């Protein structure tokens, strides 16, 4: 049960809200405009197609932000290590971490990435694209070390999470957490 607090003001009745609503510094500043638009539901009284087109259009903002970031971010150091390009992997770590190329922190992290890549290469076949995907579906359901068992368990858990109605509950709880139906 999340912690709750009660707030009262002279003009309104006492309202019980989750404590997380009292700490706006925990929210990402970028999310605030979109969260307020979705929670207040400004388009609910529109009689035209804008009542559904505007919220869907606002959701495209996230796609634009992610697509822009995709072109601005460097390739992963793991990507370069798996292809044997350690110099590019070091350069990427230097850029991401803001450290000097000779920093001990960079050297330790690069050594850890190389060690993990070697362990993965020994455990997972990387002969071809198809072989690496095929490895996800090999083994027995009854063996604990089987990749098939792990794949089925992972996808089943994701499927069952959706079956629980968690998406519906998240929206419903947001509606319950609002102090009133009126937008502020």
How much is the pLDDT for 178? 64
Residue 166 has a pLDDT of: 74
Cα distance between the two ends of the chain: 27
Residue 55: name the closest of 68, 73, 39, 78 by CA. Answer: 39
Q: 37 burial class (0-12, 13-18, 19+ CB within 10 angstroms)?
A: middle
pLDDT per residue as tens, the chain (184 positions)? 444 444 444 444 444 444 444 444 444 555 555 555 554 567 777 788 887 788 788 888 888 988 998 888 888 999 999 999 999 999 999 999 999 989 999 999 999 999 999 998 887 766 777 887 888 888 888 988 888 999 999 999 989 888 887 777 777 666 666 665 554 4
Tens digit of pLDDT for each residue in 33-52?
555 555 456 777 778 888 77
Give the global pTM: 0.50
CB 16 within 8 A of CB 6: yes
Query: Which pLDDT belongs to residue 51?
Result: 79
């Amino acid at each position: 049960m999340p912690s709750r607090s009660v707030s009262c003001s002279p003009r309104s009745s006492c309202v019980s809200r989750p404590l997380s609503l009292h700490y706006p510094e925990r929210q990402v500043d970028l999310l605030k405009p979109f969260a307020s638009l979705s929670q207040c539901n400004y388009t609910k009284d529109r009689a035209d197609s804008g009542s559904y087109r505007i919220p869907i259009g606002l959701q495209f903002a996230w796609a634009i932000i992610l697509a822009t970031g995709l072109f601005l971010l460097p390739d992963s150091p793991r990507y370069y290590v798996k292809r044997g390009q350690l110099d590019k992997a070091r350069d990427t770590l230097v850029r991401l971490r803001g450290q000097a190329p000779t920093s001990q922190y960079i050297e330790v992290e690069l050594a850890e990435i190389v060690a993990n890549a070697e362990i993965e290469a020994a455990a997972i076949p990387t002969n071809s694209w198809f072989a690496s995907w095929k490895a996800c579906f090999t083994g027995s359901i009854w063996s604990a070390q089987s990749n098939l068992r792990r794949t089925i368990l992972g996808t089943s858990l994701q499927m069952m999470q959706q079956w629980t109605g968690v998406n519906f509950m998240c929206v419903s709880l947001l509606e319950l957490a609002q102090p009133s139906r009126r937008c502020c």
